[in-house]
Amino acid sequence: MQSDLSAARFSEKPPSSSALASRQRTRRSAFVGVSLIVFLAFLSTKLQGLRKTRFGGYPQQFLSSASTAVCPQVDALFPNRNADLWETTLQQTASSHFKARSIDLLAGAVQIPTESYDAMQPVGVDPRWDVFGEFHAYLARVFPLVHANLKLQKINTYGLWYEWTGLNSTLKPVLFTAHQDVVPVGPFTGGEWTHPPYSGYFDGHRVWGRGSADDKNGLIGILTAIETLLENGFTPTRTIVAAFGFDEEASGLEGAGELAKVLLGAYGQDGLAFIVDEGDGISKTFGTVVAYPCVAEKGYLDVVVEVTSPGGHSSVPPDHTASPGFALAFTVLTLVFADHRYSRRSPRPVRGQSVPRAARTLSRASVPFQTFQCLAQYGSTLPPAIKALIADSVNSDMALHTLEGILSKDKLYRSQIGTTQAVDVVSGGVKSNALPEEAHAVVNHRILAESSVSAVREHNVALLQPLAEKFNLSFNAFGVGVSQPGVPSSGNLTLRDLSDALEPAPVTPTNGEISAPYQVLSGSIKAAYNTRRAANNDNSTLIVAPSIMSGNTDTQFYWKLSPHIFRYGHGNSAGLGPEDILDGIHTVNESIDADDFVEIIRFYITLMLNADESSVL
Ligand SMILES: *[C@@H]1O[C@H](CO)[C@@H](O)[C@H](O)[C@H]1NC(C)=O
Ligand SMILES: *[C@@H]1O[C@H](CO)[C@@H](O)[C@H](O)[C@H]1NC(C)=O
Ligand SMILES: *[C@@H]1O[C@H](CO)[C@@H](O)[C@H](O)[C@H]1NC(C)=O
Ligand SMILES: *[C@@H]1O[C@H](CO)[C@@H](O)[C@H](O)[C@H]1NC(C)=O
Ligand SMILES: *[C@@H]1O[C@H](CO)[C@@H](O)[C@H](O)[C@H]1NC(C)=O
Ligand SMILES: [Zn+2]
C-alpha cells in the first residue's frame, strides 16, 4: 500500500523534480489505525476541555443509550466441516518448526529486491522488471505443492494468477491478493537500517527488510496457507484464487490492471464471493484491540491549474497584480485556504446547480462514522465525554456537527471524514528577469467515499470562477469553456486532469443480509486472533471496526469482480508503541514480528476454510 503518513513523515523518496510528468499518479494513503490513535489522543485533550464547558451537562443515561446495534459484532467463527483439519493446522502452526520455516520463507522473499518505480517502461523493455523472474523461480522452489496442484498463468509476464479449483463450480470463488513489488529503498537510507533492507535478517524476534510488512507478508502468507492446506490433503469445495500484481507501488496498471481483465473474463462480473487484499490491520485503540478491515477506499484526482498571460520584461513590469504568477499564487492560496473550510462549508452553487456532494462531510452513512461508533462503544479507556458525543451524534445533529467540527481541525482526521486537497507542485517563470508567461500548480484531491470525481471538479470550478473574473481571465475547465471576461481577456485560467482520475471505491456492505462476507471475515479475524491468545492464556478480546483506507490498493482494478472487497492484512501493531506502529512501511527499518507473521498465515487458513464451507457467501 502507499501511505500518506509515512510519505509525509519520513519522505524516503526524494521529492520529484518540478516536471509535471514525474508526478503522475503519485498516490499516498493514510494508515487508519495510526491516524485513529494519533487523532483520538488529540480528540481526548480537546474534549477534556469541552466536557467542562459545553458538554458539562451531558446526562449519564446518555452513555447507555448507545445500542449494540451501532457496532454489531459477530462471534469468532470456527470451521465446522473442516474442524479436524483446522485443529491440525493450529497445532502445526503453533510449532517452533513451523515458525522457523515461515521466517525462512518470508526472509527469502525479502532478499529478492522486487522494486517498482514510477514511470517504468513496459515489461519486456525496461530491464528493471527482470528481477520478478527471479522472484517467480523462488516461489516455484519453496512452494512445490502450490505449483503442482494449482493452475498458474502469468499475465503480462510477471502477473501471477493461481487457481485452486474447487469441487463445486456453482460456488463463487474467493480471491486472495497481494503485490510482489516493494517501494525502492532510498539510495541514501541503506545505512540507516538496523539490518540491511534486503537481508531478511531474523533477530530472534522480527524479520527485517523491505517488503516484510508491505506486502510480502501478505503474498507469502497466502501461499504458505495454501501449501499448508495441501500438505494436509485438503481439496477445496469452493475455488480459491490468488492473484499477485507487480507494480502496486507505482501505478498498478501493468500488474493488477492486466490481471483484472483476465479475472473478469474467467469469473465474470460479481463472479467472486469476496476479495481480500492488503490493508489496515490490528491495533490497540483506547485500551481495546481493534481490527480495522477497510471497506472503502478514497478516490483521487490530480488537477493541473494553469494560468497563462502575455509576459514581459521585469524591468518594465505591468501592474504585478495582473501577472499570471500573482494570479496563480492567489489561486493556490484560495485552494489552500479552501482546504480548511472544505469540510465545513458548501461552495457556491455553480450556475443554479445543487451544491456538489464533495462539500458535505461526516455523514451518518459514512464508514468513518461507523468506525467512530465502534470506538465509542468499545474503546474501554475512551473518556465518557467523547463516548457521549459520538453516541449522541447518531441522533443529534448538534452533536454530529460538534464532532465534525472537532475532527476537521485535525489534519489526519480531516482526511478521514472529508475530501482533501493538497497543492503538490507550483512552478512558473524560467528566467529571473522575465515575468512568467505561464504558471501552474498541481492540486491532489483524495475523494471521500460519498463523493465523486465530478463533484470535486465542480467544486474546483466553483472556487476558481470568481478568481477568473477578478483577473479578467478566460476560464476553461476540464475541456469546457466556463466563462469569458466582459473585457478583453488578459490571459487564460485552465483546469485539467493530470492523470487518470479514480472514483472512490464502492463501499463494501457491513450490515444486513448482504453483508455475509463481512461477517465471515470478522468471525475469521476473531478466530485467528483468539487461538493465539488462548494458547498464551491471554484473555484480551478483539473487536472488528469497518474503516476507510485513504490510499489505494490494487483492488482499484477489481471492483467489477465483487462488491465485497476487504483491504485487511491481520498485521498486528497492538503491542507496539506509537513510534513503531508503522513497522517501517515505506521507510527504513521495515520489519515484522515473526509470531504475528505466523498468525497472519493462520488467519488466511481460517478464512479459506470458513469460506470453503460457508453457505451464506
Ligand atoms: C454445489 O453448491 C450448491 C450451492 O450450495 C448446492 O446447491 C449444490 O448441491 C452443490 N453441488 C454439489 C455437487 O455438491
Ligand atoms: C532504525 O532502528 C535503529 C535501532 O534499531 C535506530 O537507531 C534508527 O534510528 C532507526 N532508524 C530510523 C530512521 O528510525
Ligand atoms: C488563451 O487561450 C486561447 C485559446 O486557447 C489562445 O488562443 C490564447 O493564445 C491564450 N492566451 C494566452 C495568453 O495564453
Ligand atoms: C480587469 O478589467 C477591468 C476592466 O477593464 C480593469 O478595471 C481591471 O483592472 C482588470 N483587472 C485586472 C486584474 O487586470
Ligand atoms: C483477563 O486476565 C487478566 C489478567 O490475568 C485479569 O485481571 C482479568 O480479570 C481477565 N479478564 C477477564 C474478562 O477474564
Ligand atoms: Zn502495499
- pLDDT reported for residue 186: 78
Q: Are residues 307 and 228 in the same domain?
A: no
Residues identified as active-site: 181, 248
- Whether residue 526 lies inside any domain: the answer is no
- Residue 406, all three cell numbers: 472537532
Gap between the terminal Cα atoms of the chain: 27
Beta-carbon contacts of residue 605 (< 8 Å; ≥ 6 apart): 86, 89, 93, 225, 228, 229
Q: Which of 420, 382, 549, 416 minimizes the C-alpha distance to 43?
A: 382
258 marked as part of a ligand binding site: no
Q: Which ligand is nearest to the CA of 180?
A: 6
Residue 11 in contact with ligand 2 by CB distance below 6 A: no
Q: Are residues 180 and 263 in the same domain?
A: yes
Beta-strand pair 438-447/299-308: antiparallel
| pTM for the predicted model, two decimal places | 0.83
Is there a contact between 607 and 276 (Cβ–Cβ < 8 Å)? yes
How many angstroms is it from 88 CA to the middle of ligand 6?
31
Residue 490 in contact with ligand 4 by CB distance below 6 A: yes
CATH number of the structural domain spanning residue 475: 3.30.70.360
- Whether residue 195 lies inside any domain: the answer is yes
What are the backbone angles phi and psi of residue 345, rounded to the nearest 5°?
-130, 150
Task: Write out the DSSP string of 351-392.
Answer: TTPPPPGGG----TTSHHHHHHHHHHHH-TTS-HHHHHHHHH
Which atom of ligand 2 lies closest to the CA of 589? 1
277 marked as part of a ligand binding site: yes
How many angstroms is it from 206 CA to the middle of ligand 5?
28
Beta-strand pair 159-164/288-291: unpaired
Residue 322 in contact with ligand 4 by CB distance below 6 A: yes
How many angstroms is it from 110 CA to the middle of ligand 2?
19
- Whether residue 505 lies inside any domain: the answer is no
445 marked as part of a ligand binding site: no
- Whether residue 88 lies inside any domain: the answer is yes
Residue 48 in contact with ligand 2 by CB distance below 6 A: no
What are the backbone angles phi and psi of residue 251, rounded to the nearest 5°?
-125, -20
Which atom of ligand 3 lies closest to the CA of 474? 1
DSSP label of 212: T
Of 167, 169, 170, 239, best ligand 1 pocket probe by most atoms within 8 Å of the beta carbon = 170
Residue 492 in contact with ligand 3 by CB distance below 6 A: yes
Which atom of ligand 2 lies closest to the CA of 587? 13
Q: Which ligand is nearest to the CA of 195?
A: 2
Query: What is the C-alpha separation between 146 and 30, in angstroms, rounded?
Result: 34
Is there a contact between 495 and 477 (Cβ–Cβ < 8 Å)? yes
- Whether residue 48 lies inside any domain: the answer is no
Instruction: Enumerate the β-bridge partners of residue 307.
Output: 439, 493
270 marked as part of a ligand binding site: no
424 marked as part of a ligand binding site: no
Query: What is the C-alpha separation between 63 and 69, in angstroms, rounded?
Result: 14
**Per-block average pLDDT, block size 10, for the chain (617 residues)?**
35 24 27 45 46 29 42 96 97 97 98 94 96 98 98 98 98 98 83 90 95 96 98 98 96 96 98 97 89 95 85 53 61 55 35 38 87 92 89 92 82 76 67 61 87 92 87 92 89 90 96 95 97 85 91 95 97 62 73 95 98 96
- Residue 43, all three cell numbers: 480528540
| The length of the chain, given as a count of residues | 617
- Residue 293, all three cell numbers: 478491515
How would you label 140-149 residue by residue, b for 16+ Cβ within 10 Å and e otherwise? eebbeebbee
Which atom of ligand 3 lies closest to the CA of 308? 14
Residue 310 in contact with ligand 4 by CB distance below 6 A: no
Q: Are residues 482 and 596 in the same domain?
A: no
CATH number of the structural domain spanning residue 200: 3.40.630.10
Residue 303 in contact with ligand 2 by CB distance below 6 A: no
Q: Are residues 259 and 234 in the same domain?
A: yes
Is there a contact between 443 and 421 (Cβ–Cβ < 8 Å)? yes
Final residue before a domain boundary, out of 433, 466, 497: 497
Residue 476 in contact with ligand 3 by CB distance below 6 A: no
Which atom of ligand 1 lies closest to the CA of 171? 2
Task: Write out the DSSP string of 399-415.
Answer: HHHHHHHHHTTSHHHHH
Reply yes or no: is the peptide bond before residue 215 cis, omega within 30 of 0: yes
- pLDDT reported for residue 189: 74
Q: Which ligand is nearest to the CA of 318?
A: 4
- Whether residue 370 lies inside any domain: the answer is no
Query: What is the C-alpha separation between 417 and 90, in angstroms, rounded?
Result: 40
Q: Are residues 230 and 305 in the same domain?
A: no
Give residue 556's domain range: 83-118+125-285+547-613
Query: What is the C-alpha separation between 104 and 111, in angstroms, rounded?
Result: 10
Q: Which ligand is nearest to the CA of 539?
A: 5
Amino acid (one-letter) located at 462: A
Q: Are residues 428 and 576 in the same domain?
A: no
How many angstroms is it from 539 CA to the middle of ligand 5?
6
How many angstroms is it from 217 CA to the middle of ligand 6?
10
Which residue puts its alpha carbon closest to atom 4 of ligand 4? Answer: 487
Count CB-CB contacts under 10 A for residue 354: 9
Is there a contact between 421 and 335 (Cβ–Cβ < 8 Å)? yes
Q: Are residues 185 and 251 in the same domain?
A: yes
- pLDDT reported for residue 575: 64
Q: Are residues 233 and 341 in the same domain?
A: no
Q: Are residues 197 and 325 in the same domain?
A: no
Instruction: Give the CB-side neighbour count of residue 433, counting CA atoms within 13 A.
Output: 1
Q: How many domains does the chain have?
A: 2
Q: Are residues 143 and 99 in the same domain?
A: yes
The 3-state secondary structure of 100-146, one letter per residue: HHHHHHHHHHHCCCCECCCCCCCCCCCHHHCHHHHHHHHHHHHCHHH
Which atom of ligand 3 lies closest to the CA of 491? 13
Q: Which of 95, 98, 84 minimizes the C-alpha distance to 234?
A: 84
Beta-strand pair 294-297/591-593: unpaired
Residue 194 in contact with ligand 2 by CB distance below 6 A: yes
How would you label 484-515 residue by residue, b for 16+ Cβ within 10 Å and e otherwise? ebeeebbbbbbbeebbebbbbbbbbbbeeeeb
Provide Rg for the chain, Cα atoms.
26
- Whether residue 607 lies inside any domain: the answer is yes
- pLDDT reported for residue 325: 61
Which residue puts its alpha carbon closest to atom 1 of ligand 1? Answer: 168
Q: Which of 566, 574, 570, 572 minimizes the C-alpha distance to 605?
A: 570
Query: What is the C-alpha separation between 180 and 196, in angstroms, rounded?
Result: 19
Residue 317 burial (CB < 10 Å; 0-12/13-18/19+)? Answer: exposed
- Whether residue 23 lies inside any domain: the answer is no
Q: Are residues 114 and 252 in the same domain?
A: yes
- pLDDT reported for residue 332: 63
Is there a contact between 293 and 548 (Cβ–Cβ < 8 Å)? no
DSSP label of 68: G
Q: Which of 433, 447, 461, 429 minimizes the C-alpha distance to 507?
A: 447
How many angstroms is it from 195 CA to the middle of ligand 2?
10
Q: Are residues 202 and 142 in the same domain?
A: yes
- pLDDT reported for residue 334: 62
